[in-house]
């Protein structure tokens, strides 16, 4: 229940602590204090000059002075608070209105200063968080631009080198010419791959990456991807197998071709950085299916794990480039899985290996 300002005025503790008092109470309190001093002064003068002022006159004058003081203090506080509160809110909310052309009233019975203080603190915290985010984005943007320029510069420089060699040397040996042209074409393919993958990420971030939903067996799709990467696996002496008990045809609902791309990227990474074996696990998680790809490679240090899915992030830059790839594979994996409203994760142990996993929604029977 709300208490009238003139009743709350008697809560002297609020005045001593200067807390929980409204401007209205403050104006009333100040006017009463001044008028009490005025009353004491009038009584003192009456006693000193032995005048015979009727006490009624003194009381009437005191009441009159109290009312006048209250009105004056009220008006002064209202204008004082209004102008400063208005200035604060204009700075916080960037209001585009003039005080004189758009007059507003301040509710003098509310705890205005406390409300403004809370508003300023909230605004400050929000801006601090935004500033920190902008600083992180600025760092990320600088790294991204540097990585993009580096990734694109390498194949472009290679293509230029091979072509200019052919032009300047005027070689007549068709075998040498063909070898140089094939090398230039290979770098052109790498350049095209980087641009295409960047386009895929850009489409997802813009919210225009469309998914074609369908039900299919995740085991059958994984088997197709194994067959497609068989040549790469043989080249690297890596054997791809399903973990024991994971050869089950569980139906999932997703974009089949996008999930094919996810499995291809994960299997390709596993083959490149593993030693002798890659394992695929498929686990029934009631409403979801967990798919994991595990290698027996040298593992990844814990400090790198949070950034593995960033664009162009490489754990070992020189070693990664020798293995090939655009540095965008895991970023695309993350974007595709998140587009399905699912999650992707990684765990690794030095000297043991690395496991990448993601979930998909299971088809309900």
DSSP annotation of 276 reads S
Q: What is the tens place of the pLDDT at every residue in 132-166? A: 777 766 766 666 666 677 667 778 888 888 888 88
Q: Give the containing element (helix H, strand E) for 216.
A: strand 213-217
Sign of CA dihedral 93, 95, 98, 100: negative
Query: Is residue 252 within 8 Å of 289, Cβ to Cβ?
Result: yes
Residues 182 and 293 in one domain: no
How high is the pLDDT of residue 177?
Answer: 81
320 versus 149: the higher-pLDDT residue is 149
d(CA 289, CA 284): 5
Residues 218 and 190 in one domain: no
Q: What is the tens place of the pLDDT at every residue in 171-203? A: 667 777 888 888 888 888 888 877 877 777 777
Burial environment of residue 101 by CB neighbours within 10 A (0 to 12, 13 to 18, 19 or more): exposed
User: Considering 81, 110, 139, which residue would you say is the last residue of a domain?
Assistant: 110
Query: Is residue 254 within 8 Å of 222, Cβ to Cβ?
Result: no
User: Considering 158, 178, 205, which residue would you say is the last residue of a domain?
Assistant: 205
Q: If you search the block for the tokens 């790839």, which residue do you land on? A: 325
How high is the pLDDT of residue 134?
Answer: 76
The enclosing domain of 306 has a CATH number of 3.30.565.10
Q: Poorest-confidence range of 49-53, 147-151, 234-238?
A: 49-53
φ and ψ at residue 317, rounded to 5 degrees: -60, -50
φ and ψ at residue 140, rounded to 5 degrees: -65, -40
Residues 254 and 154 in one domain: no
Residue 27's pLDDT band, with cuts at 50, 70 and 90, is low
Smallest Cα–Cα separation from 81: which of 21, 166, 139?
Answer: 21
d(CA 351, CA 316): 15
User: How distant, in Å, are the alpha carbons of 79, 82, 104, 105, 294 from that of 100?
Assistant: 12, 12, 9, 12, 70
Residues 65 and 141 in one domain: no
3-state helix, strand, coil in the chain (%, to 5): 60, 15, 25
Which residue range(s) make up the domain with 57?
Answer: 5-110
Q: Poorest-confidence range of 136-140, 199-203, 296-300, 359-363?
A: 136-140
Q: What is the tens place of the pLDDT at every residue in 324-346? A: 556 788 988 998 999 999 999 99
Smallest Cα–Cα separation from 83: which of 59, 100, 62?
Answer: 100
Q: Is residue 117 part of a domain?
A: no
Q: Is residue 120 part of a domain?
A: no
Instruction: Name the token pair of 291.
Output: 């798919």
How high is the pLDDT of residue 1?
Answer: 39
Let me know how long the chain is. 365
Residues 176 and 41 in one domain: no
The enclosing domain of 152 has a CATH number of 1.10.287.130
Residues 55 and 185 in one domain: no
Instruction: Name the token pair of 38.
Output: 């005025």
Query: Is residue 315 within 8 Å of 348, Cβ to Cβ?
Result: no
Question: CA-CA-CA-CA torsion for 105, 110, 112, 117, nearest 10 degrees?
Answer: -150
How high is the pLDDT of residue 178?
Answer: 84
pTM comes to 0.57
Average model confidence (pLDDT) across the chain: 76
How high is the pLDDT of residue 245?
Answer: 86
Q: Is residue 154 part of a domain?
A: yes
Residue 16's pLDDT band, with cuts at 50, 70 and 90, is very low
Q: If you search the block for the tokens 């798919």, which residue do you land on? A: 291
Domain count, the chain: 3
Residues 261 and 353 in one domain: yes
Q: What is the tens place of the pLDDT at every residue in 97-121? A: 444 444 455 555 555 556 666 777 7
Q: Is residue 329 part of a domain?
A: yes
Q: Is residue 324 part of a domain?
A: yes
User: Considering 205, 234, 255, which residue would you say is the last residue of a domain?
Assistant: 205
Residue 248's pLDDT band, with cuts at 50, 70 and 90, is confident
């Amino acid at each position: 229940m709300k208490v009238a300002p003139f009743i709350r005025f008697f809560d002297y503790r609020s005045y001593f602590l200067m807390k929980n008092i409204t401007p209205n109470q403050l104006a009333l309190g100040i006017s009463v204090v001044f008028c009490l001093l005025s009353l004491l002064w009038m009584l003192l003068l009456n006693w000193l000059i032995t005048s015979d002022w009727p006490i009624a006159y003194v009381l009437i004058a005191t009441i009159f002075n109290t009312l006048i003081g209250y009105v004056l203090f009220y008006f002064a506080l209202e204008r004082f608070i209004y102008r400063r509160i208005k200035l604060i809110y204009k700075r916080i909310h960037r209001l585009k209105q003039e005080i004189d052309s758009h007059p507003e009233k301040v509710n003098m019975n509310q705890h205005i200063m406390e409300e403004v203080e809370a508003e300023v603190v909230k605004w400050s915290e929000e801006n601090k968080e935004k500033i920190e985010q902008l600083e992180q984005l600025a760092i990320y943007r600088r790294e991204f631009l540097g990585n993009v320029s580096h990734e694109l510069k390498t194949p472009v420089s290679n293509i230029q080198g091979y072509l200019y060699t052919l032009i300047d040397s005027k070689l007549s040996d068709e075998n040498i010419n063909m070898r140089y042209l094939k090398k230039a074409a290979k770098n052109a393919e790498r350049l095209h791959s980087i641009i295409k993958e960047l386009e895929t990420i850009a489409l997802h971030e813009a919210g225009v990456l469309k998914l074609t939903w369908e039900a299919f067996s995740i085991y059958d799709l994984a088997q197709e991807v194994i067959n497609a990467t068989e040549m790469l696996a043989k080249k690297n002496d890596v054997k791809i197998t399903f973990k024991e008990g994971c050869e089950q045809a569980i139906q999932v609902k997703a974009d089949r071709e996008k999930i094919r791309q996810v499995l291809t990227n994960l299997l390709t990474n596993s083959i490149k950085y593993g030693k002798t074996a890659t394992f695929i696990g498929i686990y029934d998680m009631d409403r979801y299916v967990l798919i994991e790809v595990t290698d027996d490679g040298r593992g990844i240090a814990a400090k790198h794990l949070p950034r593995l899915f960033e664009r162009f992030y490489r754990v070992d830059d020189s070693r990664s480039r020798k293995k090939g790839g655009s540095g965008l594979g895991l970023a695309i994996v993350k974007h595709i899985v998140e587009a399905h409203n699912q999650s992707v994760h990684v765990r690794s142990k030095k000297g043991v290996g690395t496991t990448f996993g993601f979930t998909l929604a299971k088809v309900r029977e």
